[in-house]
Chain A
Amino acid sequence: MRSAQPVGIAGYGAYVPRLRVRTSDISNAWRPRGAIAPAVAEKSVPGPDEDVVTMSIEAARTALDRAGTELERIGAVWVGTESKPYAVKPSATIVAEALGITPHVVAADMEFACKAGSEAMQAAVAFVGSGMVEAALAIGMDTAQSKPGDALEYTAGCGGAAYLFAAAEDALAVVEASVSHVTDTPDFFRREGAAYPEHGGRFTGEPSYFRHTRAASRRLLEDVGAGPEDFAHAVFHQPVPKFVEKVASELGFTPAQIDTGLVARRMGNAYAGSSLLGLAAVLDVARPGDRIFFCSYGSGAGSDAFAFRVTGRIEARRAGAAVADYLDRRQVVDGYGRYLQLRGKVRRG
């Protein structure tokens, strides 16, 4: 897909909370001694006063500061998440108010499991590319939920990123093209009123993550007439690092191409924020002229793939906190009990 007028990213910002839980603490509570080590060593945990709204506000503030766009030119804001603080009440209006871009702005929350953030990116490209608005903000952010003792508890992390899309002539990275690939695949879901999502175990791999990321990626490469070797970096949705390593290698990307964007190794899976956060980590180091390959995945299921080309404006748009700054700022919580309390999995009786 290509927009009527060329569009790009004018500013970006990331957020990862300060707290971490060691996955060995989770393992000690649930797994027999000598069980294999969890897929990541630690994962990010929100502080007691943090949620998708507060995290989105910080990432978006960085994005807006970097873009330098006048606030009245921003015509849309979407928050893609599967952990909204309110079941009914938009997060996007709180974020818009905190940024000072109300009231003439399109605002809503997007829902598509881990693809909600890239769904917001597709919408932002369309709104700007059609000329309906001058600039649109797309956010992917999550405080991922997981059942105590479940396989997901070892990786369900927190974080995300915000992207301000505007005309290509003001962009730090131009959108070359995008693809969306969806099918009805019941690999992961949460029913109304349920506290935690359910998933299909091994079913989340081949028929779900791999099938969709592969198909969307191949279609995008075809659309832009490029091969994996034409890209400096490739970013994928990151349920666990080995999923990314496998799909990247199948598509012909090298470990060096996926290294920078694979933030899950240090913080776990940020769900709707995962691939967007990986893209932010890549933009933190990308050079003018670099091409970036991006492919999200959301259960349900689908993938959005984007090809970006970095412009000469990138170096002037990196003020403020980088993804690495957030990953370096870390405080390990005192054991599994404190983690359960912070995530609201246990409450005072």
Chain B
Amino acid sequence: MDLARYHRLRSAYYRLEGQRCTSCQAVQFPARTTCRICRARTLEPHRLSGRGTVYSHAEVGPAPRGFASPYLVALVQLEEGLLLTAQLTDVDPEDVMIGLPVEMVTRRIQEHGAQGYLVYGYKFRPILPRRKAS
């Protein structure tokens, strides 16, 4: 990814920051100039929950340059109702299924060679199993 574009998109990439329309309360991701529902321009930054479920998924074999392959890609249905394309991580392909609850993590997305810059961004992983509180 181009350096300037990566820099511009860092709030979305690092912390899943989209927008909320102050006129109709609709939430959207990524950011754009008008509300996708009411077309108002009254938009404020809004951080998405990062929690959702796998809507659909696939395995990518030969990856584009700079990406570690193979990797898993999914459409993730967020709690807010939005559908997002993202990589899955910390999971083996045979354990991924439609409906799997996932949470957002910030990970390395791309490496521009051994000397180049690193692109960090959102991925999703199965919700970390937690012991019952003692």
Contact = CB atoms under 8 A, between A and B. Distances in A.
B33 interface: no
B47 A100 contact: yes
Contact of B131 (A47, A51, A57, A324): A324
Interface string A111-140: 000000000000000000000000000000
Nearest to A85: B118
Interface string B91-108: 010000000000001111
Contacts of B109: 49
B131 A322 contact: yes
Contacts of B108: 48-51, 54
A47 to B, nearest CB: 6
A98 interface: yes
A164 B40 CA distance: 39
Interface in B69-120: 87, 89-90, 92, 105-109, 118, 120
Nearest to B105: A58
A49, A98, A331: which has the most chain B beta carbons within 10 Å? Answer: A49
A325 interface: yes
A18 B95 CA distance: 15
B128 A321 contact: yes
A244 interface: no
Nearest to A344: B114
B133 interface: yes
Interface residues of B, number: 25
Highest count of chain B CB atoms <10 Å: which of A50, A54, A99: A54
B15 A98 contact: yes
Interface residue SS majority, chain B? mixed
A85 B118 CA distance: 8
A98 B130 contact: no
Contacts of B15: 97-100
Interface in A185-233: none
A285 interface: yes
A49 B123 contact: yes
A98 B90 contact: no
A329 interface: yes
A338 B55 CA distance: 31
B14 interface: yes
Contact of B129 (A47, A329, A331): A329
Interface string B39-50: 000000001000
Contact of A325 (B14, B90, B118, B129): B129
Contact of A57 (B17, B90, B106): B106
Contacts of B47: 100
A322 B130 contact: yes
Contacts of A329: 128-129
A86 B17 CA distance: 25
Contacts of A97: 10-11, 14-15
Nearest to B47: A100
B130 A325 contact: yes
B133 A18 contact: no
11 contacts: A47-B89, A48-B68, A49-B107, A51-B108, A51-B118, A53-B120, A57-B14, A97-B14, A98-B15, A321-B128, A325-B131
